[in-house]
Amino acid sequence: MSSGQTVVTRPNETVERALALSKADGCVVIAEETSAANLRWANNALTTNGETRGRRVTVVATVAGTEGTASGIVSRSGVTVDRLEGLVRAAEAAARDAGPAEDARELLGAGGGPDGGFAEAPAQTSIGVFADFAPELGAAFGRARESDRLLYGFASHQLTSTYVGTSAGLRLRHDQPTGHVELNAKSADLTRSAWGGVPTRDFRDVDLGTIDAELAQRLSWASRTIDLPAGRYETLLPPTAVADLMVYMYWQGSARDAHEGRTVFSRPGGGTRIGDRLSELPLTLYSDPGYAGLESAPFTIAHASGDASSVFDNGLALTRTNWVTDGVLTSLMTNRHTAELTGLPVAPEIDNLILDGPADGPSLADMVASTERGLLLTCLWYIREVDPQTLLLTGLTRDGVYLVEGGEVVGAVNNYRFNESPVDVLGRAVEVGRTERTYPREWGDWFTRAAMPPLRVRDFNMSSPSQAQ
């Protein structure tokens, strides 16, 4: 085969070829093929649309030594047949140059279950995924023009087929669709703004008319503005704001970090806070790769090792894991190595997050109607960690904060900087609404699969007014 040849094979063939080329003691190959489509719009008109394709291959080589097993990891995009051997050799060289890997474990082999269609071609998306959505968007443009509103936003859909193979015989494949819509409505003079976002797997469940109507109502609420000082207010957090807080808490849920005294989940004197009550409400926070509408990979896909995942765990089966059960902390994230270090069960990271309360919880509108006086948020933005020991976060409100009095929204107030810990928010929540799929606005570029309820929180800390619009 000449060096100028650029033959591209199917991802499953790439996995098999790389494994056959490997001269290491062990090898893991992850081949991913991604297709994506998007629409963008501004001022009530489409501006751009497009499709992209991409491929990435990761090779993990393991080399046994007198002091332990080392691993070398190399990832490259656009790998063709003539460049595959170079990728494998680079991973082997990285392993030889590395010290023993503390997370080294036996690579997983064939489990006897379904392989997800390992031998089949990758799935693909295209601009056709918007066939039903695009006409609805056009209708929304018409309504906006008639009511002197401007619509901005974008819709994105991505489909990634991931193939995982090991020298021990494992062969698995997973197709992951990921989509979302963000819609921003503004008054014609650009002084008022409202935002809405939803996740989707295929755009067939996106109700753009309902989103548009909600944004029009919020713009109407903002026709009256009220200045309120900083302070602690009873606050209604919509599902998207709850998602941004809970996702960040989830990301900080490393059992090893907690065990070593570095996080809010560390027990004073040593160990973790597993078993501690975080909320008096019957809230259950969990991840489940089979959750309807938020399905994610049912096995570990790890391109690197960390406290919550390990390249040696590629292919490890994932099932529902409760992180908080009826208000009590019940699990923290581990891989096989950190589970042994902490004495906790193996509980790897899963790519979705759900917070459930009572099945008959109220809607956000019901919660507004039962509010004597409080604030209603739209979403949170620019969230940053202040103190890992308490998980104190700071950030800004955005695109509408509304004052509720006597069960009705009476106007929009100024934006705020907030200072809150998600753990404290759970502890001060006094009412939980109905869980629904939602899009975490701040973290949506990295985490889209979430279902959350609205929460009523006592004394939410609006630490200072913000000039952000």
Q: What is the pLDDT of residues 266-284, one digit of tens each?
A: 999 999 999 999 999 999 9
CA 15 to chain centre: 27
If pLDDT is split at 50, 70 and 90, which confidence band does 113 have? confident
Check whether 352 has a pLDDT greater than 80: yes
- Residue 185's identity, in one-letter code, is A
Check whether 6 has a pLDDT greater than 60: no
433 forms bridges with which residues in the sheet?
none
Query: In a 10 Å sphere around its CB, with 0-12 CB exposed, 13-18 middle and 19+ buried, how is residue 303 labelled?
Result: middle
Alpha carbons 266 and 259: distance in angstroms, whole number: 6
Give the residue-averaged pLDDT of 85-111.
96
If pLDDT is split at 50, 70 and 90, which confidence band does 7 have? low
Check whether 117 has a pLDDT greater than 50: yes
Check whether 167 has a pLDDT greater than 70: yes
Q: What is the pLDDT of residue 4?
A: 46
Q: What is the pLDDT of residue 311?
A: 98
8 A C-beta contact, residue 303 and residue 311: yes
If pLDDT is split at 50, 70 and 90, which confidence band does 3 have? very low
Give the residue-averaged pLDDT of 48-76.
96
Query: In a 10 Å sphere around its CB, with 0-12 CB exposed, 13-18 middle and 19+ buried, how is residue 142 labelled?
Result: exposed
Average pLDDT, the chain: 96
Check whether 357 has a pLDDT greater than 60: yes
List pLDDT tens digits, range 391-433. 999 999 999 999 999 999 999 999 999 999 999 999 999 999 9
- Residue 336's identity, in one-letter code, is R
CA 300 to chain centre: 15
Give the residue-averaged pLDDT of 288-300.
97
Give the residue-averaged pLDDT of 154-174.
98
Rounded-to-10 torsion of CA 85, 87, 91, 96:
50
The sheet carrying 68-77 orders its strands as 68-77, 45-65, 26-42, 149-166, 171-187, 193-200
The sheet carrying 321-325 orders its strands as 328-329, 321-325, 284-287, 353-356, 450-452, 436-438
Give the residue-averaged pLDDT of 133-162.
97
Query: Which residues lie below 8 Å from residue 80, measured CB to CB, with a gap of 6+?
Result: 5, 6, 7, 8
Check whether 180 has a pLDDT greater than 70: yes
8 A C-beta contact, residue 113 and residue 316: no
If pLDDT is split at 50, 70 and 90, which confidence band does 8 have? low
8 A C-beta contact, residue 401 and residue 416: yes
Q: What is the pLDDT of residue 114?
A: 87
Torsion angles phi and psi, residue 254, rounded to 5:
-75, 125
Check whether 160 has a pLDDT greater than 80: yes
Query: In a 10 Å sphere around its CB, with 0-12 CB exposed, 13-18 middle and 19+ buried, how is residue 182 labelled?
Result: middle
Does the predicted TM-score (pTM) go above 0.75?
yes
Give the residue-averaged pLDDT of 88-116.
94
Weakest-pLDDT range from 4-18, 83-97, 128-142, 330-344? 4-18
Check whether 232 has a pLDDT greater than 60: yes
Give the residue-averaged pLDDT of 222-242.
97
8 A C-beta contact, residue 397 and residue 380: yes
8 A C-beta contact, residue 241 and residue 377: yes
C-alpha distances in Å from residue 286, one per residue of 153, 166, 352, 357: 31, 29, 8, 12
DSSP one-letter code for 333: B
Give the residue-averaged pLDDT of 20-25.
98
- Residue 201's identity, in one-letter code, is R
Alpha carbons 88 and 72: distance in angstroms, whole number: 10
Q: What is the pLDDT of residue 418?
A: 98
Three-state secondary structure call for residue 317: strand
8 A C-beta contact, residue 375 and residue 234: yes
Q: What is the pLDDT of residue 335?
A: 97
If pLDDT is split at 50, 70 and 90, which confidence band does 219 have? very high
